[in-house]
């Protein structure tokens, strides 16, 4: 290809992926006197705005992956748009409808929609965070009945497709045929396997004695989707369907735990066609936890034996794509490597499970480390070295997941965010990001919330009504959507003193241990077990 042809091709790609900027009028606002943090945060917003595009084959704006990836992928694009929803609700909606609109007649959802190809991607299933779960979250938060109905119909058909074409061994678990099925590019987990399926069809299994493999993460994604489908069915008044999806979800969860967990290794592995485990200790673990497959008891074991080990998945910059002591860990770290690098996609997904399993204090350590790495580089690239935090190789900048990590982590470290029907006010009065900081956000119920750090304390307000004034180096104040206090959680890695005053209630003076939770009652507080 000569230079003229290359430039003509590049122009055509850009023409078919038109930018679509403009934040919502009531988009969340964060301001701080910490110039470095503010600069990095604002750059992240600029990156995301620049990655909102109108792609071929669908008319609405979507959030693309950015960097060298000019497209939207099912494994991550809908989840990314969910995290960006408060800034661009239209983008969250269209980033889901893209996949439902392009769904094949037989029920297959496209793996991606890219600007530089002539059709959606059908050569792999490429799923991680369930699109059913993120669609349900968007529809529920926004009251979007049309999205709810389309998501339920499309995701039901997708489940049927998976059971028809990715259950060839009849186990009920979801099978992987190729590397791109799991999006774990260049991972030793898939060494010797094709990247995608023959003839551009995910129905076609490559010829290899190891295939098909029963995959814990693909099965966990399907489990999470079924949980969401049950919730959607209830919302649609389909109670019989809801019961059926709940039963199917429970069956699949049990299969994952019974067939794909190796207790002596404290790990989940693929099971190949020869009924041999593919013993690569990798990001499978985080993905299974992301859908809450382990119960609390099993998770506590995984936490001790795997996740929170420095030589496991908890080096200076968690969570590497392979355990640090995994023999196949790839060094030096190449670009786009799921063989060891700490990937911003994994960091972006961590809020789906770290708090759920009661590890908010340790999660704060991870968030601080990632934000420091993003601030240090300032270009929002795809992956970092889990030991040094350095960018590994010269990947292209402006990667949406990295920008979303900066935005999401800022609000989860020292701001306020909605968690179901609750507000989680994350107070850290001595944090860099909290310097004279103000967080303002419109809630899904229409209330305007405000968290403001002044003179060493945090003032929590709803619709200009002060609900509490808090001084602490690490406490989460949990309220309902109207500001009624429910609980306090220790979110510092050390014991944290808490002083809180709230209208109509006695002042609170206490110390919280890391991850300790105390329920707030009308007149007093009492401890509650995780």
C-alpha span between 165 and 218 (Å, rounded): 13
- Which residues make Cβ contacts (< 8 Å) with residue 320, sequence separation at least 6? 313, 329, 340, 341, 342, 386
pLDDT at 524 exceeding the cut of 90: no
**Average confidence score pLDDT of the chain:** 93
pLDDT value at residue 18: 53
Q: What's the pLDDT tens digit per position in 306-331? A: 999 999 999 999 999 999 999 999 99
Containing 521, the helix (H) or strand (E) segment is: none
Coil, strand, or helix at residue 347?
A: helix
For 511, the token pair is: 């110390």
- Which residues make Cβ contacts (< 8 Å) with residue 184, sequence separation at least 6? 190, 282, 283, 321, 338
pLDDT value at residue 291: 98
pLDDT at 16 exceeding the cut of 70: no
Q: What's the pLDDT tens digit per position in 136-156? A: 999 999 999 999 999 999 999
pLDDT value at residue 410: 98
Q: What's the pLDDT tens digit per position in 483-522? A: 999 999 999 999 999 999 998 888 999 999 999 999 987 5
Residue 260: DSSP 8-state: S
CB burial readout 177-187, b (16+ within 10 A) else e: bbbbbbbbbbb
Alpha-carbon dihedral angle through residues 112, 115, 117, 118, given to the nearest 10 degrees: 100
Q: Which residue has the tokens 């609000």?
A: 411
Closest-CA residue to 353 (of 397, 290, 414)? 290
Length of the chain: 530
- Which residues make Cβ contacts (< 8 Å) with residue 462, sequence separation at least 6? 447, 448, 449, 450, 482, 483
For 34, the token pair is: 């910490």
Q: What's the pLDDT tens digit per position in 438-478? A: 999 999 999 999 999 999 999 999 999 999 999 999 999 99
Coil, strand, or helix at residue 271?
A: strand
Instruction: Please give the model's pTM, rounded to 2 decimal places.
Output: 0.94
pLDDT band, residue 432 (cuts 50/70/90): very high
C-alpha span between 406 and 409 (Å, rounded): 5
C-alpha span between 247 and 230 (Å, rounded): 9
pLDDT value at residue 19: 53
pLDDT value at residue 116: 85
- Rg, the chain, Cα only: 23
pLDDT value at residue 235: 98
C-alpha span between 496 and 499 (Å, rounded): 10
């Amino acid at each position: 290809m000569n230079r003229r042809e290359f430039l003509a091709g590049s122009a055509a790609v850009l023409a078919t992926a038109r930018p679509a900027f403009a934040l919502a009028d009531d988009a969340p606002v964060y301001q701080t006197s910490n110039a470095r943090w503010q600069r990095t945060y604002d750059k992240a917003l600029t990156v995301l705005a620049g990655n909102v595009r109108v792609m071929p084959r669908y008319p609405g704006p979507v959030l693309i992956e950015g960097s060298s990836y000019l497209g939207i992928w099912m494994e991550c694009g809908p989840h990314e748009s969910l995290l960006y929803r408060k800034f661009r609700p239209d983008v969250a909606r269209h980033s889901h409808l893209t996949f439902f609109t392009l769904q094949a007649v037989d029920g297959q959802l496209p793996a991606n929609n890219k600007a530089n190809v002539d059709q959606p991607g059908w050569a792999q299933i490429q799923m991680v965070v369930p699109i059913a779960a993120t669609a349900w979250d968007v529809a529920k938060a926004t009251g979007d009945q049309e999205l709810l109905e389309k998501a339920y119909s499309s995701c039901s058909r997708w489940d049927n497709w998976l059971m028809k074409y990715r259950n060839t061994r009849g186990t009920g678990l979801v099978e992987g045929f190729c590397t791109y099925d799991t999006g774990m590019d260049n991972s030793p987990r898939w060494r010797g396997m094709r990247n995608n399926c023959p003839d551009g069809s995910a129905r076609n299994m490559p010829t290899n004695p190891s295939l098909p493999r029963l995959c814990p993460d693909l099965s966990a994604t399907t489990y999470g989707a079924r949980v969401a489908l049950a919730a959607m069915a209830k919302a649609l008044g389909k109670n019989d369907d809801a019961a059926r999806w709940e039963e199917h979800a429970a069956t699949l969860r049990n299969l994952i735990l019974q067939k794909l967990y190796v207790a002596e290794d404290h790990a989940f592995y693929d099971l190949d066609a020869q009924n041999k485990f593919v013993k690569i200790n990798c990001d499978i673990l985080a993905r299974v936890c992301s859908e809450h497959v382990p119960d609390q008891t099993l998770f506590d074991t995984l936490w001790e034996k795997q996740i929170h080990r420095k030589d496991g998945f908890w080096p200076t910059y968690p969570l590497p794509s392979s355990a640090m002591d995994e023999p196949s860990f790839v060094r030096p770290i190449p670009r786009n490597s799921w063989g060891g690098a700490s990937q911003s996609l994994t960091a972006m997904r961590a809020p789906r499970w770290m708090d759920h399993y009661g590890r908010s204090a340790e999660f704060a350590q991870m968030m601080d480390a990632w934000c420091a790495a993003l601030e240090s580089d300032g270009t929002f690239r795809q992956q970092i070295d889990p030991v040094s935090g350095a960018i590994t190789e010269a990947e292209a900048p402006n990667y949406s997941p990295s920008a979303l990590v900066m935005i999401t982590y800022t609000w989860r470290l020292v701001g306020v965010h909605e968690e179901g029907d609750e507000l989680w006010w994350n107070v850290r009065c001595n944090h860099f990001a909290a310097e004279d900081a103000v967080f303002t956000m419109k809630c899904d119920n229409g209330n305007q919330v405000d968290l403001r750090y002044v003179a060493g304390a945090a003032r929590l307000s709803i619709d200009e009504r002060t609900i509490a004034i808090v001084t602490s180096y690490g406490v989460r104040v949990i309220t309902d959507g109207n500001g009624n206090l429910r609980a306090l959680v220790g979110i510092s890695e050390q014991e944290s003193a808490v002083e809180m005053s709230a209208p109509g209630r006695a002042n609170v003076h206490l110390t919280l241990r890391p991850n300790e939770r105390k329920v707030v009652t009308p007149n007093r507080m009492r401890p509650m077990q995780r």
